[in-house]
Homo-oligomer: A and B are copies of this chain.
Amino acid sequence: MNIGEAAKASGVTAKMIRYYEETGLIPAPGRSASGYRTYSHRDIQMLRFVRRARDLGFAMDRITDLLALWRDRTRASGDVKRLALDQVAGLQTRIREMQEMVATLQTLADACAGDHHPDCPILADLEGERSIVHTAAHPNGRFGQP
């Protein structure tokens, strides 16, 4: 299977497949005589695996861990489950942060007439000395991994 077919079969673009290989997330596949990458059924499984893990919001380094467990026939399912539950916890944290944003925005919007007049509590709050905006610490980048 060439990279294009592998991409179609796995849902990972050819570009991304090469990138994952370059960064060591996945091993380099075999090559045809003319230098084309060739992918086995197992490789497709692996690519699908990565794709799905991404769809669950896992960061790349977590996927590295998941793949290691996937390949390890002597793994403990408890290790996999822990990664999954950690991910749940991380997602829930970010969900909570966004829900706070929604609540704040909704409060501000409720206080705003929303007509043709210029007076606007939303802008007033954003510019002011004191504000209801929860100016939390966002340690990793902005909102976490994805």
Contacts and interface: CB of A to CB of B under 8 A. Distances in A.
A81 interface: yes
A114 B125 CA distance: 48
Contacts of A49: 123, 126-127
B126 A48 contact: yes
A2 interface: no
Contacts of A78: 113-116
B84 A53 contact: no
A132 to B, nearest CB: 9
Q: Say whether chain A's binding surface is mostly helix, strand, loop, or mixed.
A: helix
A123 B70 contact: yes
Interface of A: 11, 45-46, 48-49, 51-57, 66, 69-70, 72-78, 80-82, 84-85, 87-88, 91-92, 94-95, 98-99, 101-102, 104-106, 108-109, 112-120, 122-123, 125-128, 131, 133-136, 138, 142-143, 146
